[in-house]
Copies of this chain bind each other. A is one copy, B any other.
Amino acid sequence: MTWTISETYEADKISQNGNKFLIANGFMGYRGTLEEFGKEQFCAVNLLGIYDQVGAQWREPINAPNPFAIQLFAESQSLSVLDTVPIEHQQQLDFRYGIHKRHTVCALADGNQIDYQIERFMSMDDVHSLNAQIKISVLKETKIVLKVGIDGDVWDINGPHLENFQMEDEGLYSALHVQTHEQHCPMSVGQQIALSHHYQSKKVVSEQQIVNELAVTILPDQPLVVDVYTAIVHGRESYQTAACVKQSVVASAFKGYEKTLHAHQNKWDELWKNADVEVEGDPEAQRAIRYSIYHLLSLGPRHAQNLSIPARGLSGQTYKGAVFWDTEMFLFPFFLRTEPAVAKALLNYRVETLPGALKKAAMYGYEGAFYAWESQEGGYDATSDYNVTDVFTDRPMRTYFKDKQIHINGAIVHAIWSYIQGKGDDSFLLSGAGEVILACAEFYVSYSFFKPQKNRYELLDVIGPDEYHERVNNNLYTNFMAKQTVEIGLKVIQYYEKNAPKKLAAYFSINDKEHTKTLWQDFAKRLYIPQMNEATQVIEQFDGYFDLEDVAVDTVASRLLHPREYWGGAYGVAADTQVIKQADVVLLLALFSQTFPQSTLEQNWQYYEKRTEHGSSLSACMYAILASKIGKADWAYPYFVKSATIDISGESKQFAGNIYIGGTHPAASGGAWMTIVEGFAGVTIEEEKISLDPHLPSHWQSLKFKIMHQQICYQIDIGKDYWSCKSVETL
């Protein structure tokens, strides 16, 4: 199998390829744009966990100045694909090592041909470092001009975020120092150029750019090699950003391009060792799952103990660079089983943002913690009350993601509990996770109402995973997760009683504790969990769902008056129908398949599958997982492919209403991995027992991967008529 994808140049694929050819290292991501591209072509160096707001616009992550703003000219003719039609051109991503390459050949009028290649990588060895190498060869002696600069005129959706531009100019070392608008957070981008040939140089400095114009004469047998060493550091790392970037750049230049590349590749080799999945008999699936894992590995915030991964990864500012439930439910399982340190960092982010969640709950008049739907630093909820724009009136539409999508708490507690069980170590409860669980449980109890006539608690006015139905009552998924959260909360109280009575006392006064325990026990016992219809075995997604118009997805689609019109909200085409955006009941059943009879799993899969639009990239994988779990690998396979290839194909929704939502889909990548492990391999883990129940797609010969559990690494091998699970290593 090749570990590469490639494309020629097509103007209308610029945005899509920006995602497809993304390279990232957990600290930052560089979109898969060509070196001559600027903000108009959505070039961006997207940074993790650093945000900025301008005026009343949406708060979003920062894009750094582009350290690789490179333009080439041969005898004054631009070699940019934007200016000329090359006779050959290929853009390539090596996704084993996260190396972006381009190879372009341009013809000049005199028969001369200029062949140039540029490769770049974001170092996994030094996450602040990005290096590139340019190679240029010619047929005839040619005067080449390279403009190699740092471009601070960045693409922003809701910017501009950068200000106070200051230039540092020391010959072939340049640096750009800026501050963010809102918090005046400093950021520096440094760049050192090294050329194999004699050159003449000129510095061109404008308001937001610093450029070295390098004139070189190249002979046919003497290709030019230019190394560009760069680094980016911002104030979340160090306030000495100027010194830090210089140090990083100088270190890289001292080692040279090849050594920095090798150090980077070694890190990738280490990562693949635990994370790789081998599929025999299906080269396309093999490529897609590795491409998915590449994206997941690219995103691990290994440089920090307490950062998490945004819903669109590091591909840009869409979805405000915010952390959603996607992380806990769709990305976390991968890291838990391949790289628990990253899994811990993701959860630590939630521990550290508990104050924000407490504040949000209080703002809405609830007790405990209400985690942000779109979480930025400190747990600030970036969700707008108006998250969608009406395409007919261009007005913002009141949406309830922020105030009603309370299942976020359940996802966090679910992940924490998985971590504690997966790690076999409950000490995390003593370093912050316990408080998160208690506060999440407290919230659910305080959100609920009691119905005396029915002797039950209910959770009213919520949005479940299916966002097309807003403000519903008793969403199965939400109620189930809330019940689990409170049950885990009761376990934490018990654990604290034994192991940390002081913590408990700090959390509850004595009277409150007993009262709380009683209330929580009552809640856990009496919270209404919608039950399946006895005749059909189908479970109603929320109160009244079955009474909605039962109509095909295509019919609903045919009612659209505008291609970008929002399907949900109060009056969207799906709102009064049973058509749902994404797996909801099916998500729950996929997660908790052991607690339901097989026939119930199957009946619900069949019922909801027909009614799901899959308007979210979180949907397909859950249909794949549940189908596998009921032994229907053929039902699962197309959904697996959809989930695993979403970014490789580039076919995904680009707009919700008039809001651009393009970017990569890490949750779909994580879901593809989950389908392999939990679905096709049928891995289930209970306490210390790992079980397999494989259902491979019929054309797969074998499947191999590793998973970690309680600090032991297991090698799983599955073939047509065998399977095995062996411990191979102890961490």
Contacts and interface: CB of A to CB of B under 8 A. Distances in A.
Interface of A: 367, 385, 390, 392-393, 395, 397-398, 445-446, 449-453, 458, 460-461, 471, 519, 561, 569-571, 575-576
Contacts of A460: 449, 460-461
* Chain A binding surface SS class: loop
Contact of A449 (B390, B451, B571): B451
A571 B398 contact: yes
A385 B548 CA distance: 12
Contacts of A449: 449-451, 458, 460
Contact of A571 (B367, B390, B452, B575): B390
Contacts of A575: 398
A576 B398 CA distance: 8
A452 B452 contact: no
Contacts of A519: 452
Given A450-B450, A452-B519, A461-B461, 17 more contacts: A367-B453, A392-B392, A392-B393, A395-B561, A395-B571, A398-B571, A398-B576, A449-B450, A449-B460, A450-B451, A460-B460, A460-B461, A569-B570, A569-B571, A570-B570, A570-B571, A571-B571
Nearest to A460: B460
A398 B452 CA distance: 30
A338 to B, nearest CB: 42
A100 to B, nearest CB: 44
30 contacts: A367-B453, A385-B576, A390-B571, A392-B392, A392-B393, A393-B561, A393-B571, A395-B561, A395-B571, A397-B570, A397-B571, A398-B570, A398-B576, A445-B453, A446-B453, A449-B449, A449-B450, A449-B451, A449-B458, A449-B460, A450-B452, A452-B519, A460-B460, A461-B461, A471-B471, A569-B570, A569-B571, A570-B570, A570-B571, A571-B571
Nearest to A394: B561
A519 B458 CA distance: 19
Task: Determine which residue in A398, A446, A570 has the highest number of CB atoms from chain B within 10 A of its CB, and name it.
Answer: A570
A314 to B, nearest CB: 34
Contacts of A450: 449-452
Contacts of A367: 453
Contacts of A445: 453
A577 to B, nearest CB: 11
Task: Determine which residue in A367, A398, A449, A569 has the highest number of CB atoms from chain B within 10 A of its CB, and name it.
Answer: A449
Closest 3 CB pairs of A and B: A570-B570, A449-B449, A392-B392
Contacts of A576: 385, 398
A451 B458 CA distance: 11
Task: Determine which residue in A397, A453, A576 has the highest number of CB atoms from chain B within 10 A of its CB, and name it.
Answer: A453
A392 B395 CA distance: 12
Contacts of A458: 449
Nearest to A519: B452
A158 to B, nearest CB: 21
A446 B453 CA distance: 7
Nearest to A543: B365
Contacts of A397: 570-571
A8 to B, nearest CB: 41
A617 to B, nearest CB: 26
A385 B575 CA distance: 13
Contacts of A461: 460-461
A452 B444 CA distance: 13
Nearest to A386: B576
Task: Determine which residue in A460, A561, A571, A576 has the highest number of CB atoms from chain B within 10 A of its CB, and name it.
Answer: A571
Nearest to A452: B450
Contacts of A446: 453
A576 B367 CA distance: 25
Contacts of A569: 570-571
A251 B349 CA distance: 91
A309 to B, nearest CB: 33
Nearest to A396: B571
A471 B397 CA distance: 16
A703 B647 CA distance: 80
A526 to B, nearest CB: 11
A659 to B, nearest CB: 16
Contacts of A453: 367, 445-446
Nearest to A576: B398
Nearest to A365: B543
Nearest to A522: B452
Contacts of A385: 576
A561 B446 CA distance: 41
A395 B390 CA distance: 14
A397 B392 CA distance: 14
Contacts of A392: 392-393
Contacts of A570: 397-398, 569-571
Nearest to A367: B453
Contacts of A393: 392, 561, 571
A438 B367 CA distance: 37
A299 B170 CA distance: 93
A305 to B, nearest CB: 36
A107 B451 CA distance: 77
A364 to B, nearest CB: 9
A445 B451 CA distance: 10
Nearest to A392: B392
Nearest to A445: B453
A246 B575 CA distance: 55
Contacts of A452: 450, 519
